[in-house]
Amino acid sequence: MALAVLACALLGRWQLGVWQDHRTDNSEAVTHEEPVPLDDVLGKDAAFPGSGVGRPVVVHGRWDPAHTVYVADRTRDGRTGMWAVTPVVTATGSAIPVVRGWTPSPDDAPAAPRGPAGLVGLLQPSEDTGVPDGDTRDDVIPELSVTELLPRAPYDLYGGYVVATDRALPSGGTRATGMTGLAPVTVAHLPGADASTALRNLLYAFQWWIFGAFAIFMWWRWLQEDVLGRRSSPGPR
């Protein structure tokens, strides 16, 4: 009985892990799509589209190092540091904040890039949880909120941001990602997996656990009736 229950528990856990892995892969699939121009997904005056979360987009323009900021309390490999964020002013005249990478502190970050920008980034929605900025005069902010960045910028901003990647540009042009000297950042937001994704594996997990519960029940009945002799007495006729 013990071996049967252990086997059922482990098999159920294995199927649950397979279910979780498939759902994660389904969510991350959008990040592997072919990159498209930023304005094809998010216009400069448009609301952030739900279908844009995690989409690879091509960003071209010019870096604006003067308005670089650092987003506090960002964890990587168990260490707490900051995101280095520099806007890219596009041909539309609006700018998109670009998370160039992770750094332990602003003092450890390389100088912000200048000149032309060209990169493939993963599109993310603005972080607007309402965390207050304790000091609006410095370059450290508590979250990457486009609303909070607007008063700092001399131009309009897109309604989201991108996380820089080292992917090649579809046009084959020269990349200028601004990532040099910084650790890459993993996107925080991805679309949820479909409800039906790997549903069969989840049902298999429950099935194995039911088998284990049934083994315990049968063992308990055997113990009561055959070992302890506690057979249930027949009811009145």
On the question of pLDDT at 82 being above 90, the answer is yes
- Compute the mean pLDDT over every residue in the chain, rounded to the nearest whole number: 84
On the question of pLDDT at 234 being above 60, the answer is no
Round to whole Å and give the CA distance between 70 and 138: 9
On the question of pLDDT at 111 being above 90, the answer is yes
Round to whole Å and give the CA distance between 29 and 23: 10
Residues 30-66 pLDDT 10s: 678 899 999 999 988 888 887 788 899 999 999 999 9
Residue 24 pLDDT class (50, 70, 90 cuts): low
* Per-residue pLDDT at 47: 87
Please give the distance of CA 142 from its chain centroid, rounded to a whole number. 18
Which carries the bigger pLDDT value, residue 138 or residue 184?
A: 184
Q: What's the count of helices (H) and strands (E) in the chain, helices before strands? A: 4, 8
pTM over 0.75: no
- Mean pLDDT calculated for residue range 230-234: 58
On the question of pLDDT at 202 being above 70, the answer is no
| Range name among 23-27, 31-35, 45-49, 219-223 with the lowest pLDDT average | 23-27
Q: What's phi and psi for 70, nearest 5 deg?
A: -125, 130
Residue 80 pLDDT class (50, 70, 90 cuts): very high
Residue 159 pLDDT class (50, 70, 90 cuts): very high
Residue 70 pLDDT class (50, 70, 90 cuts): very high
- Mean pLDDT calculated for residue range 8-25: 71
The dihedral through the CA atoms of 94, 99, 103, 109 has a sign that is negative
* Per-residue pLDDT at 5: 81
Residue 176 pLDDT class (50, 70, 90 cuts): very high
- Mean pLDDT calculated for residue range 147-160: 91
User: In the chain, where are the structural domains located?
Assistant: 2-24+198-227, 33-164
Classified as helix, coil or strand, 225 is helix
